[in-house]
Structure 1
Amino acid sequence: MAHHHHDHAQTAHHHDHTQIDFAEMLPLLEREADLYAPMYRQAADWLRERQPEPELIVDAGSGPGVISCLLADAFPQARVVAVDGAEPLLEAARARAERLGIADRFSTLEAELADGLGDLDYRADLLWASKSLHHVGDQRAALAGFAQALAPGGTLALLEGGLTARCLPRDIGIGRPGLQSRIDAVHEDWFTEMRATLPGSVRENEDWPGLLAAVGLRPTGSRTFLLDLPAPLSQEARAFVVATFQRRRDFLGEVLDASDLATLDRLLDPDDKESLHHRPDVYLLSAQTVHTAQRGEGAPAQ
């Protein structure tokens, strides 16, 4: 299990295009998390108001550990455990912690979130789960496992929802206006299919505070954080946008109409002056929502 960033599909063959190889996505996952780091730091500052001095932080679905390490920096007294189902990503997380000089209070646990977090030695004071829950078929059951992994008084911070990132104006001067909205609509259908094909998939109303309450936690607030990188983009941000659109081309190309596909191919052609590589109007605007809930001091979570 890894951080879900918006564009994650394994696409070698159409029949398995909803299967995701997170280890293969390592460079893109790291690039995105690094780019979004200012937003995650804002979220960490907000969480500090709710859980000022956690002794143990668990990042459930940590991916390559970018946010795990950021949380370790934001909470310098805390121990951090990065939990993920892909060992190559945990290896990258350990290497990052070593580079940042926090390896002495950083550890990893290989586990699938669907199987719970029962192998933790201690219960978490702060459990962070960023875009990982929706890769579990039975999200309610996984949330119940998260609740059980919390210490009494502990906080669960769930990053799910928000708004899909925008990178281009509605009319980019080539092709039919509204390209990105149509790509997003096709991606929504892909996401629904991905969810439906997960083992033990259960459809849920994505009322995250409601689901947190349903597993015995007390919702304590939701807040949306903004990543706003206006044009002209840095080289790093532009490279991320190109990689994101390339992934969309790879796994949605079969269902986009011919005119949109032709426009997308122009956007990805480094030799085309209208491409993402050269356009002055490329930006990155994204809103992501964190939902928090607390485990009661007395009664156990359900």
Structure 2
Amino acid sequence: MPAYCEGMNQAHPHASHHGHHGHHQEHDDAGQAEILDLDAEILAEHTASITGWLPLKTDPRQIVDLGCGTGAGTFALLDRFPDAHVIAVDASVGHLQRLREKARALGLEERVRTVQADLDDTAWPDLGSPDLVWASASMHHMADPEHTLRAVHGVLAPGGLFCVVELAGFPRFLPENAPEDRPGLEERLHAVTDRLHAEHMPHRGADWGPMLTAAGFTIEAERTITVNIEGSHNEAIGRYALNSLQRIRGAAAPELSPEDLAALDRLLDTGGPHNIAHRDDLTVRTVWATRRP
């Protein structure tokens, strides 16, 4: 019976791995790509710890990265398993192009094949018979995750592993008493986006265990990783916080009080004295809880 490991990984609230296409989508892809690249840079050590922990008896030779984005998981897996080849699957043409450019720059293009596909489609592309399927922060975007789980179960090689890395919560950056003029602003922002995501992504935060068991996977153990990265000496964390809150603003602005919106705009004003990227008290805080077969 195929096994799976389940983890929880923070990702940007609007980093979708499937959806509509067109000019707006291409523009949105560019913004998502920047966030995903920052995500990969800042959390590289933690991603590597998960790939290193995967309970595999032998190293996989064929890997599928479902909802690969710009390749954080793809390149971590290629590094962890030097003899493996990865099929990187995403709906975004822009994300896949960026992934291919990275692969060429790293001399890894022979070990990566990209496939553009909407994983909610009834018919999936030919993904071979992989030894490992990796899905990081993508399962909760599926309109019909049960269909996706059955499809993964159907393509996995005998004894193969399915690793689901899912959301425990979006990252927090500011201290609880910040900003000084509107303490608790960040939590209020997330309360708004949590409500919006409950409407549009009902599977975010789902209990994946019963759905995975129903699809034929086995569950055995769990661990938790607490991510707490101090940002005072890491310029990338300032950019990460700025980009994250800019995108949250786009969704949350209509629901915010005028005072909270004004305070948020002061944090996002790149030319102003209160810009979040210039703070010396930023921290990336989140939790990963990981199950293994």
Task: State the TM-score, normalizing by the size of structure 1.
Answer: 0.83
Query: Residue 223 of structure 2 aligns with which residue?
Result: 223
1:61 aligns with 2:67: yes
* Rounded Cα–Cα distance in structure 2 between residues aligned with 1:290 and 1:188: 22
Query: Residue 37 of structure 2 aligns with which residue?
Result: 30
Any stretches of 5+ residues in structure 1 without a counterpart? 11-18, 197-202, 294-302
* Rounded Cα–Cα distance in structure 1 between residues aligned with 2:123 and 2:99: 18
Tell me the C-alpha RMSD between the 2 structures: 2.5
Kept in 2: contact 1:42–1:225 (CA 8 A) = no
Give the counterpart letter for 1:278 in structure 2: H
Give the counterpart letter for 2:189 in structure 1: I
Shift of 1:68: 0.4
* Rounded Cα–Cα distance in structure 1 between residues aligned with 2:140 and 2:279: 34
Q: Secondary structure at the residue paired with 1:218? A: coil
Equivalent residue runs for 1:7-26 within 5 Å: 7-8=13-14, 21-26=28-33
Kept in 1: contact 2:11–2:171 (CA 8 A) = no
1:146 aligns with 2:123: no
Kept in 2: contact 1:161–1:289 (CA 8 A) = no
Kept in 1: contact 2:59–2:81 (CA 8 A) = yes
1:45 aligns with 2:52: yes
* Rounded Cα–Cα distance in structure 2 between residues aligned with 1:25 and 1:204: 18
Shift of 1:116: 6.1
* Rounded Cα–Cα distance in structure 2 between residues aligned with 1:144 and 1:280: 47
Going from structure 1 to structure 2, the CA distance change for 1:121 and 1:113 (only over 3 Å counts) comes to closer
Query: Residue 129 of structure 2 aligns with which residue?
Result: 123
Shift of 1:4: 8.6
Shift of 1:227: 3.0
* Rounded Cα–Cα distance in structure 2 between residues aligned with 1:159 and 1:117: 24
Shift of 1:204: 9.0
Give a deviation string over 1:138-172, Cα, whole Å, max 9, x none. Answer: 11111111111211101100011323311111112
Give the counterpart letter for 2:82 in structure 1: P
* Rounded Cα–Cα distance in structure 1 between residues aligned with 2:84 and 2:220: 22
Kept in 1: contact 2:173–2:241 (CA 8 A) = yes
Equivalent residue runs for 1:202-241 within 5 Å: 206-241=206-241
Query: Residue 94 of structure 2 aligns with which residue?
Result: 88
Kept in 2: contact 1:224–1:289 (CA 8 A) = yes
Kept in 1: contact 2:140–2:204 (CA 8 A) = no
Moved over 6 A (4+): none
Q: Secondary structure at the residue paired with 2:255? A: coil
Kept in 1: contact 2:117–2:124 (CA 8 A) = no
Q: Secondary structure at the residue paired with 1:163? A: coil
Give the counterpart letter for 2:242 in structure 1: V
Query: Residue 103 of structure 2 aligns with which residue?
Result: 97
Give the counterpart letter for 1:39 in structure 2: H
Aligned identity (percent) is 32
Equivalent residue runs for 1:174-253 within 5 Å: 174-195=180-201, 206-253=206-253
Shift of 1:181: 1.1
Give a deviation string over 1:100-141, Cα, whole Å, max 9, x none. Answer: 122222111111111367433521111000111111111111
How many pairs align?
276
Going from structure 1 to structure 2, the CA distance change for 1:60 and 1:121 (only over 3 Å counts) comes to closer
* Rounded Cα–Cα distance in structure 2 between residues aligned with 1:38 and 1:243: 21
Going from structure 1 to structure 2, the CA distance change for 1:240 and 1:268 (only over 3 Å counts) comes to same
Going from structure 1 to structure 2, the CA distance change for 1:243 and 1:258 (only over 3 Å counts) comes to same
Going from structure 1 to structure 2, the CA distance change for 1:116 and 1:147 (only over 3 Å counts) comes to farther
Give a deviation string over 1:27-72, Cα, whole Å, max 9, x none. Answer: 222222222111100000111x335411111100001123201111
Give the counterpart letter for 2:276 in structure 1: L
* Rounded Cα–Cα distance in structure 2 between residues aligned with 1:208 and 1:73: 28
* Rounded Cα–Cα distance in structure 2 between residues aligned with 1:120 and 1:230: 43
Any stretches of 5+ residues in structure 2 without a counterpart? 1-8, 17-24
